[in-house]
Amino acid sequence: MLTLASDIEVLARFGRALADPIRCRILLALREGPAYPADLADALDVSRTRLSNHLACLRDCGLVLGSPDGRRTRYELADQRLSHALGDLLSAVLAVETDRTCPDADTQGCC
């Protein structure tokens, strides 16, 4: 059963999804349009197993949907407004000190 997440939960899920570079690359690839896992794995140069784990995380976060297509599953962004949100994030200017890293940078948690 699907439920609507609260504003804070939406932001937390989005943040956790973006915390991993591979998940970021998957989301950016899906901005271009729906794709199959095998094609994504090849395009992103990651193993299919690793990609599958990241797609599961993105599904659990509510950011992507998988739709059966014969024997395969096609993935796409759960809401096309996510494409716009990702574009806005890419164009944001961050004030980053070059000699510091985020304290949570080593955390690889998922949603």
48-91 pLDDT, tens digit each: 999 999 999 999 988 999 999 999 999 999 999 999 999 999 88
The answer as to whether 23 is a domain residue is: yes
Residues 44, 42: Cα–Cα separation, whole Å: 6
The answer as to whether 5 is a domain residue is: no
The answer as to whether 101 is a domain residue is: no
> If phi over 0 gives left and psi between -120 and 50 gives alpha, with beta otherwise, what is residue 3?
beta
Are the beta carbons of 19 and 109 closer than 8 angstroms?
yes
- Give the bridge partners for 76, in sequence order: 65
pLDDT of residue 106: 54
The answer as to whether 37 is a domain residue is: yes
Count of structural domains, the chain: 1
3-48 pLDDT, tens digit each: 666 788 888 888 889 999 999 999 999 999 999 999 999 999 999 9
Within 8 A by CB and 6+ apart from 63, the residues are 13, 14, 17, 27, 77, 78, 82
73: domain range? 11-91
pLDDT of residue 11: 85
CATH value at residue 85: 1.10.10.10
Measured in residues, the chain has a length of 111
83-110 pLDDT, tens digit each: 999 999 988 877 777 766 666 555 555 5
pLDDT of residue 4: 62
* 54 exposure class (CB count in 10 Å sphere: 0-12, 13-18, 19+): buried
The answer as to whether 99 is a domain residue is: no
The answer as to whether 68 is a domain residue is: yes
The answer as to whether 44 is a domain residue is: yes
